[in-house]
Amino acid sequence: MNKKNIIMTILLSIMILLIIVLYVFSPETGEKIGNAFSTNILTMLKILPLVFILIALFEVWVKKEKVEKHLGEKGGLRSFLWVVILGGTTIGPMIVALPVAASLYRKGARLSVIFTYLGAAAVCRIPMTIFETSYLGVKFTIIRYSVALPLIIVSSVIMGRILNRSGYKIQEE
């Protein structure tokens, strides 16, 4: 067992121990937290295997040259449109977007595009947009998109430039 697995096992054990202690001293609170914890774990166990299968298919089927051409250094402004669309179609919690971002990076996407994808996956998901529009209205959604998307793109470009200038590279395991 490597150091990372040991740490994860310890953290999980501490979490379960805290839930048990809470249940002993405050059964209502312990039960609520335990239910929320188990619900989230079960949701992750349902979603993540499918996500990893889709990412594996992406790794095999999509050529590195295609990603570099459209999302790499020569991708231009259109690359931001592509990742906003990709981010909007991301389904599930944000944890789903992280392996996709890592895969894009391995395939040659530039950092600013990856940051834009992560921002778009957090802000522009289609299910969230439908829910928001039905409760808050189309006008609110249009205003939110017209403010959020440019800010996401500008901040992503700034972060990408800063990290590129400093020679930052994401470590591969």
Q: Each residue of 149-159: pLDDT tens digit?
A: 999 999 999 99
For residue 133, give both structure tokens: 């529009």
Pick from 13-22, 23-32, 75-84, 164-173 the range whose average pLDDT is largest. Answer: 75-84
Residue 75's closest CA among 42, 104, 33? 104
Average pLDDT over residues 111-134: 92
Q: What sign for the dihedral angle of Cα 63, 124, 47, 20?
A: positive
61-81 exposure pattern, b = at least 16 Cβ within 10 A, e = fewer? eeeeeebbebbbeebeeebbe
Question: In terms of pLDDT, which residue wins out, 54 or 113?
Answer: 113
* % residues pLDDT > 70 (the chain): 98
CA distances from 138 to 31, 39, 128, 142 (A): 39, 32, 13, 6
Q: Each residue of 88-122: pLDDT tens digit?
A: 988 777 888 888 898 899 898 999 999 999 999 99
Question: In terms of pLDDT, which residue wins out, 85 or 40?
Answer: 85
Q: How confident is the model at residue 168 (pLDDT cuts 50, 70, 90)?
A: confident
Question: Is the pLDDT at 50 greater than 90, yes or no?
Answer: no
Model-level pTM greater than 0.85?
Answer: no
